[in-house]
Structure 1
Amino acid sequence: MFFRLTGIKDISDKNYTLELLIEADDAATVKKFLGDQKVIIIGLEIYHGDVTDFGKSYIVVKYGDTLVKIIGNFEDLEQFVKYVFQLELEVIDANYILGNQLSETQVQEIINSAREKQIASKKAHQERLKAAQAAEKINFNDKKLQKAYQAIDDIVNQIDQLMEIGGSKIQPNTRKKLDDTRSEMGKLRLATNYDKIIEELHSAMNLIVETQDFLLDLLENDKIFAINPETKITNVDIIREQTRLAKANLLQVLGAQMSREETMYASLGHLKIFTQYLTRDFNFVLSNKPLFLKQVFKGIEIVSLFVLVELIVLTVLNPVLKLSLSLERVGVVFIYIAVFSLLFSFFNHKIRPQTSRAYLGWLSLIILVYAALMYLLKVLLIF
């Protein structure tokens, strides 16, 4: 059976788009073959149509001890053979499927010619690479360029990781942008114009952040979780913010011109991230009335407890600090606040209403109970 492949292969900082039919017994065999060829699979499915509708020619390549037949949509057989040699595959046989098939001698001439051209092209590339490495050694003496080259390596690694993690979820146009950016990063190692390098690096980092945000938006719900039951901050939020902080720090090290937001991340660091988390939680609380009221009631409880502790401390230290506090008055205030605090504490930890209407109803009841208790205490204790 044949499998239809849509994929990409990166060779010498150049991307080749693959649209081929590959003959194999099962998908696992095809994936192993493509994996060994370092092909990024975008799509792979069984082809149910007639192979002649897909392409007019075929080639046979050597893969270990086996031969793999591949169908391509090329008008000219010589062009197809040349293309496959560029993919660093060893062609054993080739011909047209239908029509005027070539003789074995003609096929071998085409294969030998394509092989020689590929060898010459590879040799020329190696020479250019050596020249580039020599130029790089000269440029590496510049400390600013050293930092830029290190940043280039980091960004290439980030792009590779992003494409590996994203896989088929990355849109084709975005994948092409990432491939083009990766190729551009390789060329930048030959550049000496520091400002131009920084500009390209900034653009690459923006693309990485945008792509990561897109992938995070596609993340399944079971893979998103809050870092704490009391907050709306999730693992996704942490990944987003840490990426933006890392981007800003790198731009700052390189001395790049940054946007206002990037400057805030670089200047405030983790404090900026904390304010982002706080703002998100605060906005959520404001949009959720029951949750907002719950936080208000908790705040009242905490403040009243704090006041009680402060009264106790001041009473104990009164002889030392000579504050001239009236113990009778302090006792009265203490009773008022203690009863108030106990009522709110009981409400917050035992009642736990689920709607804003319930909160307001219970608040009215608390006020009535508080007033009744104060009246009874006043009658009984006569204060």
Structure 2
Amino acid sequence: MFVLPPRAPSPAEPPADAERRRRHRRWLAWSAAASALLVLLSNVAAYAADRFGQVARVDTLHRACQAAYTAEAARTLHVEQLPTTLGAPFIDVSGGGDARFRVYSAPPGPLRSMTFDCSRTAGGVVTGRLAYGMTSRSEVPQPVAAYRDWLPDGTVVVVARLRDPHVEVQMTVTGGALKYSRHDDLVVLWGERSALTTAKLTADGATLDLARDDLTVTATYQEEEFAAYCQRHLDRQPALSGATLRTTASYGNSEVVRVYRSAHGFALCSWAARSGDPAKGISYRSPVLDLSSADGTGVGMTLSSSWPGGGSWIVGPVPAHTERVAVVGSDGTVVQAQLGDGVYVAQGVDFDKATKIVITTATTVYTLADAEFTQRPR
């Protein structure tokens, strides 16, 4: 049997060395605790700074949204019927980074109901769009009504309002991704424009094709939405196949027209905000869009649009090398038309009572008067 010898006792440690080791261990422990405390305080300070920055950015965004709302309300013909200030947003969606999209809403009441959405791009650009609402939820004609927003960063938002705030909502999209947010009877879909080419929204048996259906329009004029409306309706007219935009004209903040021409026809597409007539119970809940067209491009053909209390427009084709077009009203007022590529457009005369249209080219003067069309050498 092999037996290990007993371990020899360690020599006694001098008291001074033992005390130094104890002091060193205490110093290491204190140093570690101090370091941990410093890290904690640093994290708390960073969190507080981040939260303060978020609050400051939110407050700044709200002020910018309020300024945008004030400006948009002033452009409408119903500013006296709209709330003056925004409350808290109903929906607040983050698009990543500083990009945000907010929806504010004022319910029906003594003032006109409205929805106002406000967006901030990642680059800090803040814009807003105002839409009128119904006087009561029961007046919503369909289970779901929606409008589109074309945002400055290239994305598109659809803001939908449900007749029944408790109904189930289904979204189908086969290309791209859409952010989805809902609060009560408001629904927001936000994403790249390509995602909306296949997106559909269904509520209570009603389905909206968000790319092809005519949705409601905002009181805020949106060029892209107006152009998309015009193109959808042009595509339904065989004579306007291949029609292209020839000129655009506007009247203040209340009216915009686009004139198109193809090889076989021309069209007048109009966007008009209307003030309504309270005495007759007429109240426009959104701008009025319309497209009228004519088959043929003969010189002397015309299309006109006129609204009570609003402006009047007249358009028509012109031959090559046209230098000017004058429209003469029944009171003798002469309006010089705006020329486009193969068309003219004029505004400002009551065209139902226009007495003469004179088209002057480099070689010929064409005159349309009293339903008779003549031409003579210049």
Same fold (TM over 0.5): no
- Higher strand proportion: 2
- Higher helix proportion: 1
Structure showing greater radius of gyration is 1
TM-score by length of 1: 0.27
TM-score by length of 2: 0.28
